[in-house]
Amino acid sequence: MAPGTLVRQATETDIAELVRLRALLFDTLGGDFFNPSSAGDEWRDALARVFREKLKDDDAQILVVDGDGGGGGGGGLAACGIGTVEQWFPGPHSRNGRIGHVIGMVTDPAHRRRGHGRAIMQGLLTWFRERDAVRVDLYASHDGEPLYRELGFFDHPDPALCWRP
């Protein structure tokens, strides 16, 4: 962890900043998949509602690092990361079926290269261990991939596919 990097759990006062950072992530990823022209802004209100719910749930952990102003969102957030644990069906490759997911790791451009992402990931990995997750999945951006590999992530044997109804 970078010296002086304080990772804390997000609170309701951070929701506007969490929405801002998540929108920044989608802008960074670009393309019509992450930013369809028909999206509008309703998703931001829906995201704020989900953040309010997930801040109270045991199956989610939302970690943040404060910006230079510090103190619960007063100076904005420098970075955030979200972890969730789902109960899947156990199998020989998954003794208890508890699968973790890392979602929305993002650092504001003004705060990058200071160890915030690493500190948040280390906090999330501890949280996953405490919840007995047998695997943690994530989709890595090109910029984030070296950090995740350094922390022990590797290529999943299954190709990722998706479907939209």
Chain centre to alpha carbon of residue 144: 12
**Each residue's pLDDT tens digit, 3-47:** 567 999 999 999 999 999 999 988 777 665 665 555 667 889 999
> What 3-state DSSP class applies to 83?
strand
Distance CA 138, CA 25 (A): 14
Name the pTM for this structure: 0.88
What is the fold, at CATH topology level, of the domain defined by 7-150? Answer: Aminopeptidase (3.40.630)
The stretch 88-109 carries a mean pLDDT of 95
3-state secondary structure string across 89-121: CCECCECCCEEEEEEEEEECHHHCCCCHHHHHH
Percent of the chain with pLDDT over 70: 87
Q: Tell me the backbone φ, ψ of residue 92, rounded to 5 degrees.
A: -60, -25
Of the candidates 161, 8, 134, which has an alpha carbon nearest to the alpha carbon of residue 81? 8
